[in-house]
Amino acid sequence: MLSVEEAVARILSAATPLEAERCGLLDAVGRVLATDVVAGRALPPWDNSAMDGYALRAADLPEGVGALPVSDAIPAGDPGDRPLAAGTAARIFTGAPLPPGADTVVMQEDTAREGDTVRVLEAPRPGQHVRRRGSDVEPGAVVLRAGRILAPPDLSLLASLGRSQVAVVRAPTVAVLTSGDELLDVDAGEPGPGRIVDGNSIGLAAAVRALGCAPRIFPIVPDDRDATFEALRRAARADVLLSTGGVSVGDYDFVGDALRTLSGDRFGFWKVAIKPGKPLAFGRIGECLAFGLPGNPGSALVTFEIFVRPALLRLMGHTAVHRAPRAAVLDAPLKAGGARREYLRATTRWVDGALHVDPRRTQSSGALSSLGGADALVVVAPGAPAAPAGATATVLLLGEDRVDDVVV
């Protein structure tokens, strides 16, 4: 069996960033910038006032203080193209263009207005409270580098530069399908004897969508060899294929064989030293990254977290694709590790500034209740000694977006 690290390495070696696409700014948040952005205009586009106050020539106040007649008023939005008469001041507001001839702004609090005259009470420093053209961004400057994960301030900058669209790495399309004669669609009504409702498709599709990718749920695949091969062929038109169930060694498990056959010499592996989720398969059907995930819901979502999520992030152009491990205080004892790396579903809380974790919930791979409310995975290394309550454990916080290049 492969180690978790080796399995992840093989997957990521096959996952290269997709091509660029252009999208609107609101759709670009959280996406990876595909090309450098070069400013086509200056920011600010003209000298402007940083304060509400009065624009003047500093030389017109040789003593630093004194009175000047007010010759103009320049609100924001005014073209501000009227030259300032020598020996006068102009009432000006934040963001308004500095009139030609002015070189200084005195903020309103440092003045006293007396009819058509303003008295400057505090000696200004020449050039104060003036935002010069291009002082923020010069034309031709690279303002954002390719590979950056776009955040709201970046999009504000792009809009200010007059860009309504931006080139980002395309998000992958993801086909999601489940197999098993026992499965029913969620809207099929009350399940009869021997039947259960398929929850994996919804859970995996939601995990895909949470990353900003586009999931498509395919019809449930019956336990039939030909139907399985055909379903995987059709689903492999997507960038990524997620199949759950049918990857073990039972008489009705056809997904593993189909994935191996359709991948040919691009078949990656089958079985990983992980708990839950050992019967995991990976290959490439054409250009599609195809995952055969276990059918048990706990196994399916844990293996998605450890193996599929990093691959989707890499396809989207991210360089750091793994959650950063965190240290947490155990609220309950932890059993010794076995032969495989184990990921225990757990809940966390903060106590006096310290992160605590409680793994006391069923860890059965088929238990749905242990998934609800779990916000962390406790990582137990193979052969790790038992740990008492109060000891430190390594956890992955499932609600934390911070990622690192460490596989744990």
| Residue 236 pLDDT exceeds 80 | yes
**DSSP bridge partners of 351:** 354
| Residue 210 pLDDT exceeds 90 | yes
Q: Give the CATH number, domain containing residue 280.
A: 3.40.980.10
As for how many domains the chain has, the answer is 4
Identify the burial level of 264 via C-beta atoms within 10 angstroms of its C-beta, where 0-12 means exposed, 13-18 middle and 19 or more buried.
exposed
**DSSP code of residue 299:** H
Give dist(CA 97, CA 71) in Å, integer.
15
- Nearest CA to 377 out of 403, 349, 348 is that of 348
**Among 319, 334, 368, which residue terminates a domain?**
319
The tokens describing 156, both together, are: 């504000």
The band of 359, judged by pLDDT with boundaries at 50, 70 and 90, is very high
Q: Note down the domain range covering 295.
A: 4-18+171-319
The alpha-helical segments, DSSP class H, found in 87-178 are 152-160
pLDDT tens profile 124-138? 999 999 999 999 999
pLDDT at residue 65, as a whole number: 95
Regarding whether 237 and 369 lie in a shared domain, the answer is no
Q: Give the CATH number, domain containing residue 164.
A: 3.90.105.10
**DSSP bridge partners of 330:** 357
Q: What is the percent of the chain where pLDDT is above 90?
A: 86
Regarding whether 295 and 347 lie in a shared domain, the answer is no
> By the 8 A CB rule, do 311 and 174 touch?
no
| One-letter identity of residue 344 | L
pLDDT at residue 366, as a whole number: 63
**DSSP code of residue 267:** E
Number of helices (H), then strands (E), belonging to the chain: the values are 7, 28
How high does pLDDT run on average in the chain?
A: 94
Regarding whether 160 and 298 lie in a shared domain, the answer is no
- Nearest CA to 135 out of 38, 50, 36 is that of 50
Regarding whether 217 and 283 lie in a shared domain, the answer is yes
Tell me the residue ranges of DSSP E strands in 262-366: 267-270, 274-275, 281-285, 288-293, 322-323, 326-330, 341-351, 354-358
Regarding whether 297 and 177 lie in a shared domain, the answer is yes
Ordered strands of the 288-293 beta sheet: 214-217, 173-178, 240-244, 288-293, 281-285, 267-270
Regarding whether 298 and 248 lie in a shared domain, the answer is yes
> By the 8 A CB rule, do 291 and 242 touch?
yes
Q: What is the pTM of this model?
A: 0.89
